[in-house]
Amino acid sequence: MEKVNFMPEGEERAAQFYVLEQTMIGGVSYLLVTDTEEGDGEAWILKDLSGDGETEALYQMVEDDEPLEAVGRVFAQLLEDVDL
């Protein structure tokens, strides 16, 4: 499973997440990530805010209910065997 580092704003240390799935909706890339490689863990959806040609990706956690539910449904369909 691929690992990504996420640097929360105002923090000095990066958090490591494991990428469960990636999808693109309306030209925007989203990652479904978890904090554990195996077993039950927390899951988050990250939205790619990077501009074209940027060498480093810039992700933001999706927290608004409406987009969170919509993107969550897409990931649920992609990962039918995973309980989200």
pLDDT tens digit string along 7-28?
777 888 988 899 999 999 999 9
At 14, list the tokens: 């990066």
**Count of alpha carbons within 13 Å of 22, Cβ hemisphere only?**
11
At 13, list the tokens: 């240390």
Q: Are 77 and 68 in contact (CB under 8 A)?
A: no
Closest of 70, 7, 1, 64 to residue 33, by C-alpha? 1
Q: How many residues does the chain have?
A: 84
At 73, list the tokens: 């449904």
pTM for this one?
0.82
Q: Which residues of the chain have pLDDT under 50?
A: none
User: How much is the pLDDT for 29?
Assistant: 93
d(CA 3, CA 21): 12
